[in-house]
Amino acid sequence: MSSEFKAGALSVNIFGESHGPAIGVVIDGLPAGEELDINRITEFMARRAPKKDGTSTRRSEPDVPEILSGVLDGKIIEGSPLCAVIKNTDQHSVDYKSISHLARPGHSDYTGYVRYNKSNDLSGGGHFSGRLTAPLCFAGAVAEQILNHIGIFTGAHIFKIKDICDTPFDPIKITAEQLEQVKSRYLPLNDVSKDEEMRSLILDCAGNLDSVGGIVEYCAIGLPAGFGDPMFDGMENRISQAVFGVPAVKGIEFGAGFASAGMYGSENNDEFCIEDNEVRTRTNNHGGILGGISSGMPLILRAAIKPTPSISRPQKTVDYTTMTEQELIIKGRHDPCIVPRAVPCIEAAANIALLSYFC
């Protein structure tokens, strides 16, 4: 089931199209009795909302989730799936209809057309749309609260946009306060001095009718040692299955990741030590996962986000119904850089994967 993330006793089932009446999510397997703070859910989702300063699409919807089931008196009911629905209110499907037979480069128009026997709902991406990350963020926000209750704190930041780098999370000493702080910032950065530089890069892209990619870094602390498994259902397997569910992700790495490929074993191995009567490591190239199982150290991952494929410049492409080469100019509203809005989405996906170990 492509729209369902299922691991352990947890399932997260996302439905809806960007231009249908509503989108939403059904979450099954949540632990009972947990209190849900709706304000915190709304805040999480607001971090995904477009900015008003020109760095984001001008499509704008309040995205207020309505909970239809699974919650009673503010608490999760065990055994009854939680369904939340978000109405679509700002649909301009006419923007998209005119280009529906031209494959937008970098988009799934053509691949979806072949996959779904020409019956695909092409208006604005349909079920492929980035808009489906709104219910993903709802689920990720629910997951965050439950993880918090068991002492796990999570967060993410813009690791880099093009060549502008934020300070990475400290893989040994990162604190819950620091993770929380990033969430409150206009751009989710550790080093706020990079804010302006990044914003002007994005605005330049918008001005050039272009877009730009970047990397998101995610961290979870407080995750106890001993969760996960070797082989096909290790932590990396399960998390990457969730994170590649966010559109535009083209790569994922854990701990030192691709950098470890250029290291000697004597550099890359993290020596174990005892601190406060706990087993820890002095460095954290393993990113908190050894043999598919959590080590108790901070879990660190990075996801590569490709540049928004929708750009307003003329592009060469094909009409896949007439099999002719054409020029395409994409109209409509789009983000010159989705990296800032991808931060809560990556957080949501990884949170959901982690939550599955506690359901």
Q: Which of residues 273-332 bind its own copies (CB under 8 A)?
A: 273-274, 277, 279, 281-282, 285-287, 289-295, 304-311, 313, 315-318, 320, 323-325
In the complex, minimum distance from the CB of residue 108 to its own copies, in angstroms, rounded to a whole number: 2
Cβ density class 11-37: b for 16+ within 10 Å, e for less: bbbbbbbbbeeebbbbbbbbeeebebe
Pattern of binders to its own copies over 67-86, x per CB under 8 A?
xxxx-x--xxxxxxxxx-x-
> What is the distance between the alpha carbons of residues 332 and 343, in angstroms, rounded to a whole number?
23
Minimum CB separation of residue 177 from its own copies in Å reads 27
Number of residues that bind its own copies (CB under 8 A): 143
Q: Should residue 145 be labelled a site residue for its own copies when binding is judged by CB under 8 A?
A: no
Q: Which residues, 6+ apart, have CB-to-CB distance to 316 below 8 Å?
A: 325, 326, 327, 328
- Which range of residues in 113-121, 149-157, 173-181, 182-190 is near its own copies by CB under 8 A? 113-121
Residue whose CB is less far from its own copies, 75 or 149: 75
CA pair distance 275, 179, nearest whole angstrom: 22
Q: Does 148 bind its own copies (CB under 8 A)?
A: no
N-term to C-term CA, the chain: 20
List the interface residues with its own copies, window 220-259 (CB under 8 A). Answer: 225-234, 236-238, 240-242, 244-245, 247, 249-258
Q: Residue 121 phi/psi, 5° resolution?
A: -80, 100
- CA–CA distance, 13 with 27 (Å, rounded to integer): 6
Classify the phi-psi angles of 68: left when phi > 0, otherwise alpha if psi is within -120 to 50, otherwise beta. Answer: alpha
* Sole binder of its own copies in the list 179, 212, 346, 354 (CB under 8 A): 212
Residue 148 CB, nearest approach to its own copies (Å): 19
